[in-house]
Amino acid sequence: MAEEDFIQRDPAAHPLPISSIYKTSMFRGPTRPPLSLKTGMADLTGPVFGPEELGPQDNDLILNYAKAGFPIGERIMIHGRVLDGNARPLRGALVELWQANASGKYRHRNDNYIGAIDPNFGGCGRCLTDGDGRYIFRTIKPGPYPFRNKINDWRPAHVHFSVFGTGFAQRLITQMYFEGDPLIRHDSILNTIPDAAARDRLVARLDLAASVPLDTLAYRWDIVLRGTRATVFENQLQGN
């Protein structure tokens, strides 16, 4: 891509690293200027992920951890495209997701929420984008859960996403929310993003046209790597 193809990002759309409404950022946010480290070829050229690394059910969270039946909860599909700043599709990108189950519980030893573990749900998956930059996952809609911020703070239903470029140094991480969730406007983490339009770009839209009748609802969410409509990423503000 030529240098003139890059579209300038809007820095006002991104959250500050330390925010008074997100308590743990006061302790974890950086207080010193960032260091500039030289990037080597090993950071940009590997590993390269191909279809041989993925299993046939890696993008199906309803089946990929099932032991004795299906997981409990609302069956959904999440689909969309990975695009650059000029709306061109990114082919062969590794997209990963991880999430809580329908009761708002992560399969993690440090999750002490009272929600129940689902023995048939692992909560993570991955896929490669196709020639049109498309990805798709089948999963269970995650439940909300409380977190220790203010006295009664709850996270809305959300899914964590990761997108890899050509190496680990090009990994981008973000969160996706669901249209119509009343907890979105109360979320202290999402509201660290000052720009309302940037917050809205993290919300997936109900897509009845892609739903499976009598089976599965669908949500559409595109991931944009750069430009004025870029997705807000947690670990690299300017995108890929």
Catalytic residue numbers, as ranges = 106, 145, 155, 158, 160
104 in Cβ contact with 93 (< 8 Å): no
Beta strand segments in 141-171, E: 145-146, 154-155, 158-163
- Please state, in angstroms and rounded to a whole number, the distance separating the CA atoms of residues 9 and 86: 12
**C-alpha 150: how far from chain center:** 24
155 in Cβ contact with 147 (< 8 Å): yes
Q: Cis (ω within 30 of 0) for the bond into 47?
A: yes
Tokens standing for residue 194:
């000052």
Q: Which helix (H) or strand (E) holds 172?
A: strand 172-178
